[in-house]
Amino acid sequence: MSAAPVKVLVIDDEPPIRKLLRMGLSTQGYEILEAPSGKVALELLTQGPALIILDLGLPDIKGHELLRMIRGRNDGVPIVVLSSRDDEAGKVQALDLGADD
């Protein structure tokens, strides 16, 4: 009997980015949960992801606010921020709010 695959929650509003991450991670045996918005991400948290990959530029909830909400619900799950922005202050803020990388 094999163990259940580790769940990774990918939160990004861009389908090509989600597809790229899904393809790369699923070939390594991870189960990918995809959220195109903050609202969907909050719903998928109930499935117990072991890792969250979070884009800060979401259409419905600001990434930093979503990060704060996730940390309020699940303090232990590692969160990796995915951002194409060159905003140093935004990256520092994400780390201050509890992002792991």
pLDDT in tens, 87-96: 677 767 666 6
Mean pLDDT of 76-86: 82
The answer to whether 81 and 96 are in contact (CB under 8 A) is no
| 82 vs 61: CA distance, rounded Å | 15
**Predicted confidence (pLDDT) per residue in 1-46, tens digit:** 568 899 999 999 999 999 999 999 999 999 999 999 999 999 999 9
Cβ neighbours of residue 88 closer than 8 Å, sequence gap 6 or more: none
pLDDT (0 to 100) of residue 69: 93
Structure token digits, residue 30: 């991870």
What is the structure's pLDDT at 54?
94
Which superfamily, per CATH, for 7-74? Response regulator (3.40.50.2300)
DSSP 47-86: G--SEEEEES--SSS-HHHHHHHHHHH-SSS-EEEE----
